[in-house]
Amino acid sequence: MKPAPFAYERPASLDAALALLAQPNARALAGGQSLVPLLNLRLTEAALLVDISHLPELKRIEARDGVLVVGAAVRHVDFEDGAVPPVLGGALQRIAGAIAYRAVRNRGTIGGSLAHADPAADWPPALLALGATIRVRGRGCGGARSIAAAQMIVGALQTALAPGEIIEAIEIPTGATRLVHYKTCRKPGDFAESITCIARHGETTRVVISGHGQIPMLLTEAAKAVPARDEAALRQAVAADLGARGAALTDYHRQLHVAGVVRAAREFLQ
């Protein structure tokens, strides 16, 4: 299928891009790996696509003061191939390398993954587990603001971004001593049916799940159970965490999440 007609602009600066995005029904275009298929299927429409993939303001990569600052237009392949510093024991590189296929990773961006908020995406649960902060820019929010990863995604394909806002950069704390990412899918490159991320921050453990319609969710009871190395107790803890919040899940997908957490915990505790 073909998309509905739209205009296309490739601004020379971030300020120019924000001015264009203030227009009605304007959409930002970076890698396009999520947006373009939706346009082609006419599941969404845009009057104007604003190409931000080339803007240097969105390609920043800097490690300083225990924080890795990554511009929204940094591609998955930039992590995979080492353009991004290998912090956290190379965990971010491994996450990027597990995303879809190389052709997708060549164009897809970390900011686009967050802004699209697909429950099957790999970056949102990892960034939540790490306690990342999302810096956004827009013309209607005083210019710039920060959103905690825990508040960024409010529903499937829904974020806390206001109209005309875009993600500028992601600030990733590098103080975590361990990060494990475990994904369940039918074959390599498929959309994830279950994702588990476990991170250790000093004496604190964070467990996050997502996938198959489930937006990233912190599992507080599971986080307490992981260090105990008791898999039966961990299974019960995950089930308790899901509780009513997982009411829309089938028994099959509940079991996938439980199994994913248990397997991620085994790797985490090695």
pLDDT digits 0-9 by tens, 67-91: 999 999 999 999 999 999 999 999 9
Q: Within the chain, which residue ranges are assigned CATH 3.30.465.10?
A: 56-173
pTM (2 decimals)?
Answer: 0.95
Q: What is the DSSP letter of 5?
A: P
List the CATH code of the domain at 178-268. Answer: 3.30.390.50
Please classify residue 65 by burial: count the beta carbons closer than 10 Å to its beta carbon, then call 0-12 exposed, 13-18 middle and 19+ buried: exposed
According to the CATH classification, is domain 7-51 in 3.30.43.10?
yes
What contacts 254, CB < 8 A, 6 or more positions away? 239, 242, 246
Quote the pLDDT of residue 181. 98
Q: Within the chain, which residue ranges are assigned CATH 3.30.390.50?
A: 178-268
Please classify residue 19 by burial: count the beta carbons closer than 10 Å to its beta carbon, then call 0-12 exposed, 13-18 middle and 19+ buried: middle
Q: What is the DSSP letter of 241?
A: H
The CA-to-CA distance between both ends of the chain, in Å, stands at: 48
What's the average model confidence in pLDDT over 123-129? Answer: 98
CATH class of segment(s) 56-173: alpha beta
Q: How many CA atoms lie within 13 A of 173 on its CB side?
A: 17
Quote the pLDDT of residue 140. 63
- The DSSP code sequence of 89-140 is GGHHHHHHHTSS-HHHHHH-BHHHHHHHT-TT-SHHHHHHHHT-EEEEE-SS
